[in-house]
Amino acid sequence: MALFGKKNNNNDDNNDQPDFGPESFSPKKAKAFFAHAVTSHQSENYEYAMQMWLKGLQWDPSSMDGLHGFLKSAEVFSVSNKKGVSKETKSVVSAKGPIGKYSGALLDFGLKRMDTGTAIKVTSAAAALGLNEPVKLLGEHALKLALNDPKQKKDMFVKLLEAFAAAGSYKLAAVAGENACRMDPSDADLQHQVRNMLAQSTMTSGGYDDKESGGFRKNIRDADKQLQLEQEDSVAKTDSTKDSMVIRTQQEHEQRPDDIPTLEKYAKALITRGKGTDELKAMTLLNQAYKQTNSFRFRKQAGEINLMRMRRALDKLRTAAQANPTDTEAQEKLAKATEQFNKQHTDELKLQVEHYPTDLSLKYKLGKIQFERGDYDGAIEQFQQAQSDPKIRRDVLNLMGKSFLALGGWEDAAITTFGQALDGITDENSELGMDIRYGLMEALMAKAQKDNDASAAQEADKIAAGIAIQQFSYRDVREKREQIKAMLTELKA
Q: For the chain, what percent of residues have pLDDT higher than 70?
A: 87
Mean pLDDT of 148-173: 89
Mean pLDDT of 469-477: 91
Position 205 scores a pLDDT of 54
pLDDT exceeds 50 at position 275:
yes
Confidence of residue 223 (pLDDT cuts 50, 70, 90): very low
pLDDT exceeds 70 at position 98:
yes
* Mean pLDDT of all residues belonging to the chain: 86
Mean pLDDT of 418-428: 91
pLDDT exceeds 90 at position 331:
yes
Position 202 scores a pLDDT of 66
- The pTM of the full predicted model, rounded to 2 decimals, is 0.56
> pLDDT tens for residues 385-395?
999 888 899 99
CA distance 251 to 480: 65
pLDDT exceeds 90 at position 419:
yes
> pLDDT tens for residues 108-160?
999 888 899 999 999 999 999 999 999 999 999 999 888 888 888 899 999 99
Q: Phi-psi bin for 84: left (phi > 0), alpha (psi -120 to 50), beta? A: left
Confidence of residue 299 (pLDDT cuts 50, 70, 90): very high
Q: Residue 292: which H helix or E strand, with range?
A: helix 278-293
> pLDDT tens for residues 238-261?
677 888 899 999 999 999 988 888
* Structure letter (DSSP) for residue 392: T
Q: 51, 89 in Cβ contact below 8 A? A: yes
Range ranked top by mean pLDDT from 6-10, 89-93, 331-335, 353-357:
331-335
Q: How many CB atoms lie within 10 A of CB 248?
A: 16
Both ends of the chain: CA-CA distance in Å? 79
CA distance 193 to 2: 21
Q: How many CB atoms lie within 10 A of CB 41?
A: 21
Position 310 scores a pLDDT of 93
pLDDT exceeds 60 at position 236:
no
Q: 334, 317 in Cβ contact below 8 A? A: yes
Q: What separation in angstroms does the CA of 67 have from each of 3, 145, 294?
A: 17, 19, 14
Q: 166, 130 in Cβ contact below 8 A? A: yes
Mean pLDDT of 61-90: 87
Domains with residue ranges and CATH for the chain: 22-206 (1.25.40)
Confidence of residue 435 (pLDDT cuts 50, 70, 90): very high
**Nearest alpha carbon to residue 252 among 239, 242, 240, 265:** 265
pLDDT exceeds 60 at position 277:
yes
Q: Phi-psi bin for 177: left (phi > 0), alpha (psi -120 to 50), beta? A: alpha
CA distance 148 to 141: 11
